[in-house]
Amino acid sequence: MFERLDFHESAACFHARSIPEHATAQIWVNHVAGAALVLGSTQRDLSIIDAQECKRRGIDIVRRRSGGGAVLLTPSEVTWFDVIIPSGAPGWAQDVHAPMVWLGERFAAACRAAGVAQALTVNDNSMIRTEWSTLVCFDGIGPGEVLLDGHKLLGISQRRTRAALRLQCCWYHEVDSAALVGLFPSLDGIDPSALSPIASLPTRFSADILQHLCSS
């Protein structure tokens, strides 16, 4: 069982939140307050993005403390939640990949319980890389990430402290690959269909999925 906490704040504020020293099992749901391009912890060279285009479109540039590629977050187009698992609690493991697979399996079960009828699978193997997966998070498939009809639905990244680990997750209600392509100079001129297809779920599923996940 997870306690649910809801936030209505920018991606920068939410990512700046620390894992509590005396953590309990919680799910943090952020109703993102503004558009943001969230970079992975290793994406330190800002020349990979078009900062002027981000500014023109009102997209904040934020770096998270967990790994992986960039994620575009737009209000009303994404459900974003983080799962806090205290050290030694169910789901926690020394192995980095095991908690992500554990969560992916529970997310898939929550989707089924909420009435999602399409085929749901969990990647329980190593990272599946593509030409652009280092740059764009949803172009690759990491351990524990969930696919809907063979296309990536749930993205997961992870950071951990001695007290707990924090699995940062999101899925889309609407996907506009062209909007993402325009933010990266290295993607300039490519057909958005060259990126891996991204699955989405209508907003109506979000409340039930999160409720089932909190109860798992």
Task: Please write the tens of the pLDDT for every residue from 105-124.
Answer: 999 999 999 999 999 999 99
pLDDT cut 70: percent of the chain above it: 100
Residue 145, pLDDT > 90, answer: yes
Q: Are 87 and 21 in contact (CB under 8 A)?
A: no
Q: How far apart are CA 121 and CA 160, in angstroms?
A: 25
Residue 189, pLDDT > 90, answer: no
Q: How is residue 202 annotated by DSSP?
A: -
Amino acid at 137: C
| Torsion of the alpha carbons at 127, 132, 135 and 139, rounded to the nearest 10 | -60
Q: How far apart are CA 73 and CA 33, in angstroms?
A: 10
Pairing between β-strand 78-86 and β-strand 3-7 as defined by DSSP bridges: unpaired
pTM of this structure = 0.95
Largest CA distance in the chain: 49
Nearest CA to 209 among 144, 112, 121, 120? Answer: 112
